[in-house]
A and B are shown apart, each in its own frame.
Chain A
Amino acid sequence: MECLIGMQFDDFVMVAADQTNARSIMVMKSDQDKFCQLSDKLVMAVSGESGDTTQFAEFIARNIQLYKMRNGYELSPTAAANYTRRQLADYLRSRTPYQVNLLLAGFDEESGKPELYMMDYLASMIKTKYAAHGYGGFFTTALMDCHYRSNMTRQQAYNLMIECVKEVQKRLVINLPNFAVLVIDKEGVSRMDTINPTVIANAA
């Protein structure tokens, strides 16, 4: 039901997450933030079992901060992603697995490159140029296959994101009106305009 879309470009990563929180037929909230900031240049978008998402995201965030306090420097995106995946894997074969799908987006200061990791609830992980979770992924992955270029500017990337959202809204039976968009680059994390019906109408 939830849709997460992430794209990595030459000098930034863009992640979008829908803002709908629904249970059965009722929409609880349509401006929920599904991002969790793990550190200065690391963001995680989570979807999946309600409750597990917040619990897991906060747990990972606090452990990443603890690492920073203990060692005086922050974990790189690769290290953080592997740590997260390890946690998912450890809990998978326990009585209390986490049912979360996530996208981890970060900027590695040492290599100067942005990175995007996609993990699912079975603790599989890939590092990839673009990825999507949820039913929306079926539609957007094809769009990104067609239009993605690694040297896009932020505005071009945002427009591509709008196209993806438009496709999801056109073809997915569930209504997902709003998508929050974050950009991670060497300056840190910044928020772009939330994609909502007005933005889509203006872009058309």
Chain B
Amino acid sequence: MSGYDRAITMFSPDGHLFQVEYAQEAVKKGSTAVGVRGNNVVVLGVEKKAVAKLQEDRTVRKICQLDDHVLMAFAGLTADARVLIKQARVECQSHKLTVEDPVTLEYITRYVASLKQRYTQSNGRRPFGISCLITGFDNDKTPRLYQTDPSGTYHEWKANAIGRNAKTVREFLEKNYTPENVATEEQTVKLAIKALLEVVQSGGKNLEVAIMREDSKLSMLEVSEIEKVVAVVEKEKEEEAATKKKESKSESK
């Protein structure tokens, strides 16, 4: 096995591209990002890594706007993400220049994924160590959420998480995502924050949440607004725990 994981251009005997898989490991080290597709909004939430005392907090940006109607969050190597974002932004404008229409979410996801795939098949270059959550609204106002990974594959999701502890968050979402739960903007935001709180230290300062609405208006939630939702979620959790305790007490009686 040790011979086959050096070069990206070599398959291992059992059909693995180890460099790509190692890239996926790099993604798992990145801070968590979650995306939820609601009825008429899309929400992206990311875990904000604690910054050093002397570091300016606002320079750490994990949610980026690719175009007026496209938002992206990533997990993994930030520098790699910068390269992809730069190219994706140019492609968004280039597309508008050639065909006079804004990109569809699928198109730009496919573009980013193709870029990533190219780097898994050329010599001398390692794969991108990031997974992306690309979300937004198509021209016909349908909300979309796509995920790409270092191998260059992409899929559409109703809700997904990437990065550290993504599995936990995804399981939570699988249990709690229903069309009713994401009918309004408020509910969608609450679901996204609740999912993130499963794995992130509680507190508005540790989360960054972005909402994009049908009319392509982007808003980043203020810390105070996030704190409000966090407080509601915590209260609900406490109430749930309290009722469970009561039930188990009454059962044991």
Q: Contact: A59 with B97, CB < 8 Å?
A: yes
B residues in contact with A59, CB < 8 Å: 97
Residues of chain B touching chain A, judged by Cβ–Cβ distance below 8 Å, are 65-67, 86, 89-90, 92-94, 96-97
Does any Cβ of B come within 8 Å of A66's Cβ? Answer: yes
Count contacts between A and B, CB distance < 8 Å. Answer: 21
7 CB-based A-B contacts, threshold 8 Å: A62-B93, A63-B93, A65-B96, A69-B65, A69-B89, A69-B92, A72-B65
A residues in contact with B96, CB < 8 Å: 62, 65
Can you add 15 more A-B contacts, CB < 8 Å, to A69-B65, A70-B89? A58-B97, A59-B97, A62-B93, A62-B94, A62-B96, A62-B97, A63-B93, A65-B93, A65-B96, A66-B89, A69-B66, A69-B67, A69-B93, A70-B86, A72-B65
Expressed in whole angstroms, the Cα–Cα distance for A62 and B65 within the complex equals 16
Shortest CB-to-CB span from A56 to chain B, Å, is 12
Shortest CB-to-CB span from B102 to chain A, Å, is 10
Expressed in whole angstroms, the Cα–Cα distance for A69 and B69 within the complex equals 11
B residues in contact with A63, CB < 8 Å: 93
By secondary structure, the A interface counts as helix
Expressed in whole angstroms, the Cα–Cα distance for A66 and B93 within the complex equals 6
Expressed in whole angstroms, the Cα–Cα distance for A69 and B108 within the complex equals 15
Expressed in whole angstroms, the Cα–Cα distance for A58 and B67 within the complex equals 16
Shortest CB-to-CB span from A58 to chain B, Å, is 6
Q: Which residue on A lies nearest to B66, using beta carbons?
A: A69
Expressed in whole angstroms, the Cα–Cα distance for A63 and B90 within the complex equals 9
Expressed in whole angstroms, the Cα–Cα distance for A72 and B96 within the complex equals 19
Most buried by B among A58, A70, A72: A70
B residues in contact with A58, CB < 8 Å: 97
Shortest CB-to-CB span from A36 to chain B, Å, is 12
Instruction: Tell me the chain A residues, 24-68 only, with Cβ under 8 Å from chain B.
Output: 58-59, 62-63, 65-66
Shortest CB-to-CB span from A25 to chain B, Å, is 30
A residues in contact with B86, CB < 8 Å: 70
Most buried by A among B65, B66, B86, B93: B93
Q: Which residue on A lies nearest to B94, using beta carbons?
A: A62
A residues in contact with B92, CB < 8 Å: 69
Shortest CB-to-CB span from A71 to chain B, Å, is 10
B residues in contact with A66, CB < 8 Å: 89-90, 93
Chain A to chain B: the 3 pairs with minimum beta-carbon distance, closest first = A62-B93, A66-B93, A62-B97
